[in-house]
Amino acid sequence: MSFIRSPKDVLAGLLFIALAGLFAWQANLLPMGSSVRMGPGYFPMILSGLMGVLGLIVLINGFRFSAEGATGIAWRGLILLTLAALFFGAFLRPLGFLPALAGTVFLSALGSQKFHIVTALAITGVMVVFSWAVFIWGLGLPIQLIGPWLGGY
């Protein structure tokens, strides 16, 4: 396959396109509505389309531009990002939104090979404040900030 110049990009593009197809198929089961009166399937379908377009762009770039080949799997990042997502799901109710988010962001930062504790703490602080501003203050979602394990209500 000498016409593939960047196997990483080709694989990533194919993965994006496959995921977009899966998400679009699932979103198709929901009522779409219209642009004026959106149904529950409208936004997921738009996101699926955007993901498919992004995958197509990455796939085409894999044929056009040379890059290094796939060298292996970044196990540290894969494991820590998976653990971070599981941590958030498992500890959102007992710890509350802010501590669960802080733990999730910090665990995610640990997944990088370029991890520095000061940078990770700064990213954690910024993400907690930003998420509070968007979800609690801006959207007014009734999410418990501090959970019962930490003395919340």
| pLDDT attached to residue 99 | 97
Q: What is the dihedral of CA 88, 92, 95, 101, to 10 degrees?
A: 50
Q: What are phi and psi of 33, to 5 degrees?
A: 75, -155
pTM: 0.65
Percent above pLDDT 90 for the chain = 69
Name the residue among 22, 152, 44 with its Cα closest to residue 94: 152
| pLDDT attached to residue 152 | 76
Percent above pLDDT 70 for the chain = 96
